[in-house]
């Protein structure tokens, strides 16, 4: 891990850009539920109520949840990494990051819409810390891909020789770093978070 941390370096400018994008995405997702029609809102309320009910009644499938969570998170990381290494398609990672942040904001407002004040508490437990850590991980990876793509584009414009091996090595260390972190957050989301949600939902 120490070796990985020494190899993985982040550019503050790109990270700051990604964090601003995340904030905009979360705010947009939170406000989006306001423009939904009554039918869509009813579907959201029904989904949240079913989710909470499954938690309370021990109907939550932890293994399947972990499989789905780890698959989706790994898939996002792989897609961001592939798009970033193509450097031309790297800007698409901005849309992916915005979408992930948008979903967090929408989840937050959905809990509040369904359960009011109680929903605020449950949504905080549902989001913190794993989903916030996930979005930070995606932000770090996105920032890294944007930086490398800009460097490669500048080198191509200036007709400088591009040493892909150097970039690949940096990519590899960053990729391993984020995979380790996302695995930990996925385990927390699948096996620990549901128990905390059950405790909270039982109290309130």
Neighbours of 88 (CB within 10 A): 11
Which residue ranges make up each domain of the chain? 2-203
pLDDT in tens, 86-116: 778 888 999 999 999 999 999 999 988 888 8
Q: Would the pLDDT of 139 be above 50?
A: yes
Q: What's the pLDDT score for residue 5? A: 41
**Distance from C-alpha of 58 to C-alpha of 60, rounded to nearest angstrom:** 5
**Dihedral angle sign, alpha carbons of residues 40, 127, 66, 133:** positive
Cβ distance 130 to 138 under 8 Å?
Answer: no
Residue 141: phi, psi to the nearest 5?
-65, -40
Higher pLDDT, 1 or 11: 11
pLDDT of residue 9: 56
Alpha-carbon radius of gyration of the chain: 19
pLDDT band at 58, cuts 50/70/90? Answer: confident
The answer to whether residue 156 scores a pLDDT higher than 60 is: yes
- Lowest mean per-residue pLDDT among 1-5, 6-10, 94-98, 153-157: 1-5
Token duo for residue 130: 């794993």
Report yes or no: 169 and 121 within 8 Å, Cβ to Cβ.
no
Q: What is the mean pLDDT of the chain?
A: 84
pLDDT digits (tens, 9 = 90+) for 179-204: 999 999 999 988 888 888 888 776 55
pLDDT at 125: 85
Of the two residues 6 and 39, the one the predictor is more confident about is 39
């Amino acid at each position: 891990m120490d070796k990985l941390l020494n190899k993985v370096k982040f550019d503050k400018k790109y990270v700051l850009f990604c964090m601003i994008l995340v904030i905009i995405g979360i705010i947009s997702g939170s406000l989006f539920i306001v423009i939904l029609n009554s039918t869509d809102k009813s579907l959201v309320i029904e989904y949240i109520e079913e989710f909470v009910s499954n938690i309370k009644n021990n109907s939550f499938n932890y293994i399947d949840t972990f499989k789905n969570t780890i698959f989706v998170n790994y898939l996002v990381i792989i897609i961001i990494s592939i798009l970033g290494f193509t450097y031309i398609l790297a800007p698409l990672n901005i849309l992916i990051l915005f979408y992930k942040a948008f979903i967090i904001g929408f989840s937050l407002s959905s809990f509040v819409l369904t359960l009011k004040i109680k929903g605020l508490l449950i949504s905080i437990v549902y989001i913190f810390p794993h989903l916030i850590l996930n979005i930070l991980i995606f932000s770090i990876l996105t920032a890294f891909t944007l930086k490398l793509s800009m460097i490669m584009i500048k080198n191509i414009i200036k007709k400088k020789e591009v040493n892909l091996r150097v970039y690949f090595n940096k990519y590899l260390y960053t990729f391993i770093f984020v995979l380790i972190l996302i695995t930990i957050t996925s385990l927390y989301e699948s096996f620990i978070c549901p128990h905390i949600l059950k405790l909270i939902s039982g109290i309130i």
